[in-house]
Amino acid sequence: MEKTIKIKNEYNSLDTLYSYLKTATSFESSKEYDSWEVRTNIHGQMEQCLVLKKSNMHGMKVYFENENSLKMTYIIPNKIMQAYFGNSQKRYQNVLEIVTGKIKNILLTSSQNKAFKEMEQVFLKISA
């Protein structure tokens, strides 16, 4: 699940957005290097993102796509849980992995959508 929104000019950096999250929400938030989708800047260094965490199974990664364009992506914040329940990054999968992946998606989709919508509301308040 992903969504991109335009935000107000006063929130156009990760630091100001992070300080807003500390006061505006009860979700746990942190500023981390993006280890879910390894993004690098023009200098080859790993990019940072904000992680909004509802639980060990439900979270959201937030980063700037453009200057005022904020990209929100659903993640599983716990690294161990991400390894078991996250999307497989393997190029080729065997039949068992494909079938269990489909079953996992069917079982988790409704709770993931609900959690994503709840966390999304925090950022819709500052959208332009």
Q: What is the domain partition of the chain in residue ranges?
A: 2-124
- pTM of the predicted model, to two decimals? 0.73
Q: What is the pLDDT of residue 68?
A: 83
Residue with token string 């991400």? 82
Higher-confidence position of 97 and 30: 30
Q: What is the pLDDT of residue 31?
A: 92
**What is the per-residue burial (b if ≥16 Cβ within 10 Å, else e) of 12-23?**
eebeebeebbee
Residues in the chain: 128
